[in-house]
Amino acid sequence: MKKKLFIISNEKFYLDEKKYFCDHIAEKTLPDGLNSKFDVTIIGRSTNIKRAHQLKIKNIENYNFLISYLIAIFKKLLKGESKFLILSISPYTFLASLIFIFFRSKPLVYLRSNGYEEYKSILGFYGPLLYGAMFKIVSKISFFISCREHILKGKPGHLVLPSELTNNWISNTSQPNYKNVRLLYVGRVKVEKGIFSLVRLLERLPNEVSLSIVGETEQTRIDLRKDNISIFPIERDEKKLIKYYDDHSIFILPSYTEGHPMVLLEALARMRPVIIFNEIKHVIGEKKGIFVADRNVSSVNKIIEHIKDNKDKIYEEMKQNKLPTKEKFLIKFSDLISTLN
């Protein structure tokens, strides 16, 4: 009989005809993957706004109000003999973590991104202060798991590299075509993702450079309509998404903050060079084919020309990348849950 695992999430899940959808791909990958070893139930928040990623698991408890969310977690802890995993630190999950103090129990907390930078991009000066206070308390009452050492800020924790990559991503790759440079962005269209600053920058790049955005929303069509920008809906089909990468020259990730972005791994798996900006240069590690730009036209254009002039050398270097796979990620994460909680 599988052990019960409750995943406490800040994510807002959308319910449509008994099917649940989420906004962040990690909120789908982890619960669906862990469900093969554990009996997984997600405790999350509800929304009436459509989400992109459909979950396979059916055990999802959605709550509209904070008090009902916390009471549900309290009741689960009363029953005992279950494992608990908290995804990220937010006001909701922070308050949830405090409940464990009364039961003299330590939950697992999975940190996927730098909360200090995220909160700064949303709340400005006060953002890091709020996150820092929550982080300091949670670090004392939980076990941390993270994808990056810098996210732990010197606190003890276990590192595991997340991945969405299947065999389809790493097979039948080809060298990009740079005759007309086609930039690609895949992801959510939000301020912290830097997509709006990228669009403004693109207006001053040479005419032969175009951008495709895979992550369309109704607002996207209004705010990002330009002659050299193509906008496509969020793509859930793996083969179709792979084709988007293969049809473009360079992947560009303009985010102000990232932990371990899946789209970067996808681009490298398809042998597409990646342009990022200084704010997230920590994501490079030992990976080949990633180039850091300043957030200005001159810098981006210089990197594009460098990639074009050294395409063969860069392609050969990228073949050396050892990218994590989805299978290995889920095995290691399952083992950590079994031993730590």
Check whether residue 228 and residue 89 sit in a common domain: no
Contact 301, 206 (CB under 8 A): yes
Mean pLDDT of the chain: 90
What's residue 221's pLDDT?
A: 52
% pLDDT > 90, the chain: 67
Q: What is the mean pLDDT of residues 111-120?
A: 86
Strands 143-146 and 158-159, by their bridges, are parallel
For the chain, first and last CA: distance in Å?
Answer: 17
Q: What is the mean pLDDT of residues 222-249?
A: 84
Tens digits of per-residue pLDDT, 69-87? 999 999 999 988 789 999 9
Question: If you average pLDDT over each of 200-214, 216-230, 239-253, which comes out highest?
Answer: 239-253
User: Is the pLDDT confidence value at 220 over 60?
Assistant: no
What's residue 215's pLDDT?
A: 82
- Cα gap 59→68, rounded to integer Å: 17
User: Is the pLDDT confidence value at 255 over 80?
Assistant: yes
The domain tally of the chain equals: 2
Mapping DSSP onto H, E and C, the string for 66-81 reads HHHHHHHHHHHHHHCC
User: Is the pLDDT confidence value at 219 over 70?
Assistant: no
Dihedral angle, C-alpha 266, 32, 236, 234, nearest 10 °: -90
Q: Which residues have C-beta within 8 Å of that of residue 176, sequence separation ≥ 6?
A: 248, 249, 250, 271, 272, 273, 311
Check whether residue 134 and residue 42 sit in a common domain: yes
> How far is residue 322 from each of residues 150, 170, 287, 319, 325, measured CA to CA in Å?
21, 11, 8, 8, 9
Contact 230, 221 (CB under 8 A): no
User: Is the pLDDT confidence value at 341 over 80?
Assistant: no
Check whether residue 172 and residue 159 sit in a common domain: no
Enter the pTM of the model: 0.80
Check whether residue 179 and residue 108 sit in a common domain: no
Q: Which residues have C-beta within 8 Å of that of residue 180, sequence separation ≥ 6?
A: 208, 210, 249
Check whether residue 150 and residue 20 sit in a common domain: yes
- Looking at per-residue pLDDT, the higher value among 286 and 111 belongs to 111
- Structural domain range at position 242: 167-318
| Pick from 219, 230, 195, 262: nearest CA to 53 | 262
The DSSP secondary structure of 80-98, one letter per residue, reads -S-EEEEES--HHHHHHHH
Question: Model confidence at 216, in pLDDT bands (50, 70, 90)?
Answer: low
Check whether residue 80 and residue 155 sit in a common domain: yes
Report the DSSP beta bridge partners of residue 214. 186, 232
- Cα gap 249→274, rounded to integer Å: 9
Contact 259, 144 (CB under 8 A): no
% pLDDT > 70, the chain: 97
Check whether residue 38 and residue 133 sit in a common domain: yes
Q: Which residues have C-beta within 8 Å of that of residue 169, sequence separation ≥ 6?
A: 238, 242, 266, 269, 270
What's residue 110's pLDDT?
A: 96
Provide the residue type at 272 as one letter.
Answer: R
Check whether residue 156 and residue 242 sit in a common domain: no
Question: Model confidence at 38, in pLDDT bands (50, 70, 90)?
Answer: very high
Contact 270, 238 (CB under 8 A): no
- Cα gap 183→108, rounded to integer Å: 38
Check whether residue 7 and residue 148 sit in a common domain: yes
User: Is the pLDDT confidence value at 222 over 70?
Assistant: no
What's residue 188's pLDDT?
A: 82
Residue 262: CATH number of its domain: 3.40.50.2000
Check whether residue 171 and residue 285 sit in a common domain: yes
- CB contact burial 215-248 (16+ within 10 A = b; e otherwise): bbbeebeeebeeebbebeebbeeeeebbebbbeb
Check whether residue 124 and residue 211 sit in a common domain: no
Contact 62, 44 (CB under 8 A): yes
Check whether residue 37 and residue 9 sit in a common domain: yes
Q: What is the mean pLDDT of residues 8-33?
A: 90
What's residue 217's pLDDT?
A: 58
Tens digits of per-residue pLDDT, 142-160? 999 998 888 999 999 999 9
Tens digits of per-residue pLDDT, 301-335? 999 999 999 999 999 999 999 998 999 999 999 99
Contact 277, 182 (CB under 8 A): no
What's residue 225's pLDDT?
A: 64
Provide the residue type at 255 as one letter.
Answer: S
The DSSP secondary structure of 37-62, one letter per residue, reads TEEEEEEEEEESS--SEE-S---EEE
What does the block give as tokens for 327?
Answer: 């299978």
What's residue 230's pLDDT?
A: 87
- Cα gap 134→299, rounded to integer Å: 37
What's residue 224's pLDDT?
A: 62
